[in-house]
Amino acid sequence: MPAYDPHEIESRWQRYWEENRTFRATEDSAKPKIYVLDMFPYPSGEGLHVGHPEGYSATDMYCRYQRMRGRNVLHPMGYDAFGLPAEQYAIETGTHPAVTTEKNISNIRRQIKQLGFSYDWDREFSTTDAEYVRWTQWIFLLLFDTWFDPDCEWTDPAGRRRRGKGRPIAELPIPAPVAARGEDEVRRYRDSFRLAYQAESPVNWCSALGTVLADEEVINGRSERGNHPVERVLLRQWNLRITAYADRLVEDLETLDWPAAIKEMQKNWVGRSEGAEVDFHIGAEDDFDRWRRSRARSGFPEAPGPDTLRVYTTRPDTLFGATYMVLAPEHPLVDRVTAEERRAEIAEYRARTAAMSEEDRVAGRGEKTGVFTGGYATNPVNGNRIPVWIADYVLSSYGTGAIMAVPAHDQRDLEFARRFGLPVRAVVTPPADWLKLAQGKGGAALTADTYPERVGELPEAYAGEGPGMQSANDEISLDGVPTAEAKPAITAWLARGGLGRAAAKTRLRDWLFSRQRYWGEPIPILHELDSAGNPNGLIRAVGLEELPVLLPEMEDFKPTGKPGGPLEKAVAWIRVTRDGKEYLRETNTMPQWAGSCWYYLRFCDPRNSERPWDPEKERYWMPVDLYVGGAEHAVLHLLYSRFWHKVLFDRGHVSTMEPFKKLVNQGMILSVTYRNSEGRIVPYRQIRFEEGKAFDAETGAELTGETEKMSKSRGNVIPVDVPIQRYGSDTTRLYEMFMGPLESTKPWSMQGVEGVSRFLNRSWRMIVDEESDALRLNERVRPGAAPDREELRVLHKTIQAVTQDMESLSFNTAISRLMEFVNFFTGRKERPLECMESFVLMLAPMAPHIAEEMWRALGHEQSLAYAPWPSFEPKYTEESVVDVPVQVNGKVRGRIQVDAQATREQMEQAALGDPRIRKHLEGTTVRKVIAIPGKLVNIVAG
Partner RNA sequence: GCGAAAGUGGCGGAAUUGGCAGACGCGCUGGACUUAGGAUCCAGUCCCGCAAGGGGUGGGGGUUCAACUCCCCCCUUUCGCACCA
800-829 binders of RNA (CB under 7 A): 804, 810, 812-813, 815-816, 819-820, 823, 826-827
Which segments within 88-195 are labelled E, that is strand? 146-155, 161-168
Q: Indicate which single residue of 452, 497, 564, 741 sits in contact with RNA (rule: CB under 7 A).
A: 741
Task: Count interface residues toward RNA (CB under 7 A).
Answer: 87
Question: 278 or 841, CB closer to RNA?
Answer: 278
Question: 31 or 693, CB closer to RNA?
Answer: 693
Q: Is residue 752 close enough to count as binding RNA by CB under 7 A?
A: yes
CA 864 – CA 68 distance, rounded (Å): 8
CB 674 within 8 A of CB 704: yes
As measured in angstroms, the least distance from the Cβ of 278 to RNA is 10
Burial level of 564, CB count in 10 A (0-12/13-18/19+)?
middle
As measured in angstroms, the least distance from the Cβ of 427 to RNA is 13
CA 611 – CA 603 distance, rounded (Å): 13
Q: Is residue 104 close enough to count as binding RNA by CB under 7 A?
A: no
As measured in angstroms, the least distance from the Cβ of 364 to RNA is 5
Query: What is the pairing mode between strands 687-690 and 693-696?
Result: antiparallel
Question: 64 or 315, CB closer to RNA?
Answer: 315
CB 624 within 8 A of CB 35: yes
CA 367 – CA 877 distance, rounded (Å): 68
Q: Is residue 847 close enough to count as binding RNA by CB under 7 A?
A: no
Name residues contacting RNA, limited to 328-347 (CB under 7 A). 328
Q: Which stretch binds RNA (CB under 7 A): 96-104, 166-174, 365-373, 465-473?
A: 365-373
- CA dihedral of 169, 174, 179, 184, whole degrees rounded to 10: -30
CA 133 – CA 141 distance, rounded (Å): 12
Identify any residues that bridge with 167 across adjacent strands, giving them in sequence order.
147
CA 934 – CA 922 distance, rounded (Å): 26
As measured in angstroms, the least distance from the Cβ of 565 to RNA is 26
Residue 870 has φ and ψ, to the nearest 5°, of -60, 145
CA 241 – CA 510 distance, rounded (Å): 5
Q: Is residue 430 close enough to count as binding RNA by CB under 7 A?
A: no
Question: 47 or 747, CB closer to RNA?
Answer: 747
Question: 840 or 939, CB closer to RNA?
Answer: 939
Q: Is residue 751 close enough to count as binding RNA by CB under 7 A?
A: yes
Question: 164 or 740, CB closer to RNA?
Answer: 740
- Please state whether the peptide bond connecting residue 623 to the residue before it is cis, i.e. omega within 30 degrees of 0: yes
Closest CA to 819 of 833, 805, 830: 805
Question: 139 or 815, CB closer to RNA?
Answer: 815
Q: Is residue 692 close enough to count as binding RNA by CB under 7 A?
A: yes
Contacts of 52 (CB under 8 A, 6+ apart): 41, 720
CA 757 – CA 592 distance, rounded (Å): 39
As measured in angstroms, the least distance from the Cβ of 318 to RNA is 8
Identify any residues that bridge with 728 across adjacent strands, giving them in sequence order.
none
Question: 108 or 406, CB closer to RNA?
Answer: 406
As measured in angstroms, the least distance from the Cβ of 820 to RNA is 5
As measured in angstroms, the least distance from the Cβ of 381 to RNA is 15
CB 555 within 8 A of CB 123: no
DSSP structure class, residue 63: H
CB 764 within 8 A of CB 856: no
As measured in angstroms, the least distance from the Cβ of 916 to RNA is 9
DSSP string, 287-312: GHHHHHHHHHHH-S-SS--TTEEEEE
Name residues contacting RNA, limited to 136-175 (CB under 7 A). none
As measured in angstroms, the least distance from the Cβ of 762 to RNA is 5
Q: Which stretch binds RNA (CB under 7 A): 92-100, 182-190, 357-365, 783-791?
A: 357-365
Q: Indicate which single residue of 11, 95, 201, 314 sits in contact with RNA (rule: CB under 7 A).
A: 314
Q: Indicate which single residue of 182, 306, 366, 700 sits in contact with RNA (rule: CB under 7 A).
A: 366
As measured in angstroms, the least distance from the Cβ of 408 to RNA is 12
Name residues contacting RNA, limited to 652-691 (CB under 7 A). 690-691
CB 274 within 8 A of CB 300: no
Name residues contacting RNA, limited to 41-70 (CB under 7 A). none
What distance, in Å, lies between the first and last C-alpha atoms of the chain? 67
CA 114 – CA 56 distance, rounded (Å): 12
Q: Is residue 928 close enough to count as binding RNA by CB under 7 A?
A: yes
Site string for RNA, 179-218 (x = CB under 7 A): ------------------------------------x---
CB 658 within 8 A of CB 252: yes
Name residues contacting RNA, limited to 386-415 (CB under 7 A). 392-395, 398-399, 401, 403, 410, 412
CA 430 – CA 486 distance, rounded (Å): 15
Q: Indicate which single residue of 755, 775, 793, 830 sits in contact with RNA (rule: CB under 7 A).
A: 755
Q: What is the largest CA-CA distance in the chain?
A: 111
CA 567 – CA 552 distance, rounded (Å): 8
Question: 393 or 600, CB closer to RNA?
Answer: 393
Question: 144 or 839, CB closer to RNA?
Answer: 839
Q: Is residue 231 close enough to count as binding RNA by CB under 7 A?
A: no
Question: 56 or 759, CB closer to RNA?
Answer: 759
Q: Is residue 357 close enough to count as binding RNA by CB under 7 A?
A: no
Q: Which stretch binds RNA (CB under 7 A): 40-48, 132-140, 841-849, 932-940?
A: 932-940
As measured in angstroms, the least distance from the Cβ of 369 to RNA is 7
CA 853 – CA 847 distance, rounded (Å): 11
Site string for RNA, 761-800 (x = CB under 7 A): xx--x-----------------------------------
Name residues contacting RNA, limited to 234-293 (CB under 7 A). 260-261, 264-265, 268-269, 271, 273, 275
Contacts of 579 (CB under 8 A, 6+ apart): none
Name residues contacting RNA, limited to 875-904 (CB under 7 A). 883, 885, 887, 889-892, 895
Closest CA to 214 of 639, 564, 537, 551: 639
Q: Is residue 313 close enough to count as binding RNA by CB under 7 A?
A: yes
Other C-beta atoms lying within 10 Å of the C-beta of residue 290:
12
Question: 533 or 692, CB closer to RNA?
Answer: 692
Other C-beta atoms lying within 10 Å of the C-beta of residue 908:
18
Q: Indicate which single residue of 185, 251, 546, 754 sits in contact with RNA (rule: CB under 7 A).
A: 754
Question: 91 or 381, CB closer to RNA?
Answer: 381
CB 846 within 8 A of CB 737: yes
Question: 113 or 509, CB closer to RNA?
Answer: 509
